[in-house]
Amino acid sequence: MKLHELTVAELGRGLREREFTSVELTRHYLARIASGNAALNAFITVTAERALADAAAADQRLARGEGGLLTGVPLAHKDIFCTDGVLTTCGSRMLAKFVAPYDATVVERLAAAGMVLLGKTNMDEFAMGSSNETSWFGPVRNPWDLARVPGGSSGGSAAVVAAGLAPVATGTDTGGSIRQPAALCGLTGLKPTYGRVSRYGMIAFASSLDQGGVLARSALDAALLLAAMAGPDPRDSTCIERPVSDYAAGLDRPIRGLRIGIIREFFGPGLEAGTGAAVQAALDGFRKLGAELVEVSLPNLPLSVPTYYVVAPAECSSNLSRFDGVRFGHRCEEPRDLRDLYERSRGEGFGAEVKRRIMTGTYVLSAGYYDAYYLKAQQVRSLINADFRRAFAEVDVLMGPTSPTPAFALGAKTDDPITMYLNDIYTIGANLAGLPAISVPCGLVGGLPVGLQVIGSHFAEELLLAVAHAWQRETDWHGRRPPEPVRGAP
């Protein structure tokens, strides 16, 4: 088996047993990036020199018998995580030249675990998008079909893992931005509980919704990364003071007798027939494994999309106000006065989708409209939270589709924002409630991957990973890969 076909766990074992070195492994991935990235446009920055230096340091640690299972394993970071000395662009012209002066906590912790940074991945601008088409650096292409989207906003991270250009990558999930690209690219995508992973150094879109997570091949790989990323952080007041579990150690817990809630509202109009059939087959598979399937209703969940598109733009309007052309970020040429500096710097620096959300957010927060829109949305958010609480009083986990369709064609929805927003109809609820959720591959429709979503109660990551692992022990969907010509060489 080729190096890029090994999982993170397999690479970690191989490195510790000296079957290959981290430098050899890193050179292999850098060669694949050089060969395959032009077709995918998935990396914004490749940190080749740094990667080889980090790999050499990892080899020295391993030779001394030091380090852990992640030491020497390469990874890619979504370009929303500040990385000391490396471009951190958020996929925007606004930050196209911004070199971060410090590391995000996620970057810091994975570096401390000995992982090797290959580069920073392309993304929807400021994480605003469901298709990775809003990036200033151009759209990312899906390795399964280069004419299709990889999903967003973590589409670059999903594409590099699916194409074998990196064994694992970080992502962020504000309304489905890890799980949806995981589904469209045939990966395991984990969004932890809000507050489980520090947001320090993760450039904010919507602060009450954003959460860092993982795009990986398997539940085991996701468990290994989460254990290294998670934990309290005094630099992030929203990060929970709670011990970190050994997620990998809990993967083999039995699921016989597990009560699985099937979300009724996820199986109505809008779900593409082939996707629905693949998800239903997966549910039948869990029944055969001894789980009990129970239909549950979350009556307020269909209001997730309109609620999200009030709350998230309001928070983005506030967070992005800092990009004014004065302190950092894009600055227009020869401003006539302060007003011109603000207007042209922001007008030139932000793309159409970011401007749309800033304007929406500013409107719903304005005098006379706050009560009618923002306050009302927060009240509906509370109702959605209550629906989830009632459901988890009856069942252990919830299941349904991750995305209503497989990957769609590039450009198919860019002229219709509402249709684009509806791609997140099954994922947004977990963000509004701050719940952990994972997407795992469960089939192919027309040669394109389909994802099954599993949602848990707060801090149920260990259970979600065990459920995903049980599914992946019985099936090989997570082992399927795009056609080799798309994945590049060597």
The active-site residue, picked from 78, 120, 191, 413, is 78
What average pLDDT does this structure show over 317-330? 94
What average pLDDT does this structure show over 303-332? 95
Separation of alpha carbons 70 and 223, rounded Å: 11
- pLDDT-derived band of residue 300, with 50, 70 and 90 as boundaries? very high
Task: Identify the three-state secondary structure at position 11.
Answer: helix
Fill in the amino acid letter for 118: L
> What pLDDT is attached to residue 205?
97
> In the predicted model, is pLDDT for residue 488 greater than 70?
no
What average pLDDT does this structure show over 121-144? 98
> What pLDDT is attached to residue 450?
98
SS3 per-residue string spanning 236-254:
CCCCCCCCCCCHHHHCCCC
Separation of alpha carbons 71 and 25, rounded Å: 12
CA 10-465-256 angle, 5° bins: 115
Q: Which residues of 373-404 are buried (b: 16+ CB within 10 A; e: fewer)?
A: bbeebeebbeebbebbeebbeebbbbbbbbbb
* Alpha-carbon Rg for the chain in angstroms: 21
CB contact at 8 A, 236 and 196:
no
24, with CB counted inside 10 A (0-12, 13-18, 19+), is: middle
Q: Collect all residues with Cβ–Cβ distance below 8 Å to 103 and sequence separation of at least 6.
A: 82, 83, 84, 111, 201
CA 65-21-102 angle, 5° bins: 80
What average pLDDT does this structure show over 240-248? 95
Give the number of other Cβ atoms within 10 Å of residue 5's Cβ.
13
CB contact at 8 A, 139 and 153:
no
The active-site residue, picked from 22, 130, 131, 153, is 153
- Inter-axis angle of helices 22-40 and 48-63, to 10 degrees? 150
In the annotation, is 237 catalytic?
no
- pLDDT-derived band of residue 321, with 50, 70 and 90 as boundaries? very high
> In the predicted model, is pLDDT for residue 243 greater than 80?
yes
CB contact at 8 A, 421 and 478:
no
In the annotation, is 318 catalytic?
no
DSSP for residue 440: E
First and final CA of the chain: distance in angstroms? 12
- pLDDT-derived band of residue 137, with 50, 70 and 90 as boundaries? very high
Give the number of other Cβ atoms within 10 Å of residue 338's Cβ.
11
> In the predicted model, is pLDDT for residue 485 greater than 60?
no
> In the predicted model, is pLDDT for residue 80 greater than 80?
yes
> What pLDDT is attached to residue 108?
98
Separation of alpha carbons 111 and 269, rounded Å: 45
Antiparallel, parallel or unpaired: β 397-401 and 259-263: parallel
Give the number of other Cβ atoms within 10 Å of residue 314's Cβ.
25
Q: What is the DSSP string of 251-313?
A: TT---TT-EEEEEGGGGSTTS-HHHHHHHHHHHHHHHHTTPEEEEE--TTGGGHHHHHHHHHH
What average pLDDT does this structure show over 125-141? 98
> What pLDDT is attached to residue 368?
87
Fill in the amino acid letter for 337: D
| Nearest one of 430, 485, 427, 473 to 451, comparing CA atoms | 427
Walk me through the domains of the chain, giving residue ranges and CATH numbers: 3-259+400-487 (3.90.1300.10), 261-300+381-392 (no CATH), 302-380 (no CATH)
> In the predicted model, is pLDDT for residue 489 greater than 70?
no
pLDDT in tens, 174-231: 999 999 999 999 999 999 999 999 999 999 999 999 999 999 999 999 999 999 999 9
- pLDDT-derived band of residue 328, with 50, 70 and 90 as boundaries? confident
CB contact at 8 A, 181 and 155:
yes
CB contact at 8 A, 153 and 412:
no
What average pLDDT does this structure show over 109-128? 98
Phi, psi of 284 (to 5 degrees): -60, -35
> In the predicted model, is pLDDT for residue 318 greater than 60?
yes
For residue 175, CA distances in Å to 137, 341, 422, 425, 427 come to 22, 32, 11, 9, 6
> What pLDDT is attached to residue 51?
98
pLDDT in tens, 19-31: 999 999 999 999 9
What average pLDDT does this structure show over 410-439? 95
- pLDDT-derived band of residue 343, with 50, 70 and 90 as boundaries? very high
DSSP for residue 444: E
> What pLDDT is attached to residue 483?
83
In the annotation, is 321 catalytic?
no
| Nearest one of 283, 278, 237 to 260, comparing CA atoms | 283
pTM (two decimals): 0.97
Q: What is the mean pLDDT of the chain?
A: 96
Q: What is the DSSP string of 58-72?
A: HHHHHHTT---TTTT
List the beta strands (DSSP E) in 29-141. 43-46, 74-78, 116-121
The active-site residue, picked from 22, 177, 317, 439, is 177
